[in-house]
Amino acid sequence: MKKEAVIKLVNGKSFQFEVQKINVTSTFLAAASFNVNVNESFYLEITHEHLNSSIDLSNLKDTLVLHFDENDIMQGATYVLPKTSGSFGIITQSKRLLFLSYPAAFKPDEVVSIVIV
C-alpha cells in the first residue's frame, strides 16, 4: 500500500516522499521479490517475533537501505552497489527498513528518524 514517508534530518529539515509499505512475517526475505518498480522506494515492516531477519539483496539496483528501531529512530544503513554477479545479503535485528534508490537526496548520517503516514 502507498504511504507518505517523512525523513527527519539532524539539521531540523525534513524530506517527504511516497513509499510502498510492505508488511512481512517471514525471517528470510528476498528484496527483489517484492514487485516494486526499479526506482520506487519501499518501507519494509517485519512483524515476526524472532531476533534476526535474513534479507537477500541480490539483483537489486543501486540501493540505500536505512535501518530503524521500533520507535522509528535511525539505527544504521546498508549500501547495495552491485558491480559483479553473485549473491549478497544481510542479517539484521531491525524490524523497519527503508529501501531507497542510490544516490539518495540526503546522506544516511543526516537521518534522525522516519514517520510513515
CATH number at residue 75: 2.60.120.1140
pTM for the whole thing?
A: 0.92
* Count of structural domains within the chain: 1
User: 84-96 as b/e, with b when 16 or more CB fall inside 10 Å?
Assistant: eeeeebbebebbb
- State the residue range of the domain holding 111: 2-116
According to the model, what pLDDT value does residue 45 have?
95
Which residues, in sequence order, are bridge partners of residue 63?
A: 80, 101
Asked if 29 and 65 count as a contact pair (C-beta separation under 8 A), the reply is no
Closest CA to 43 of 88, 83, 95, 93: 95
Q: What is the pLDDT of residues 35-56, one digit of tens each?
A: 777 678 999 999 999 999 999 9
pLDDT at 1: 84
Which residues of the chain have a pLDDT value below 50? Answer: none
CA distance 111 to 29: 25
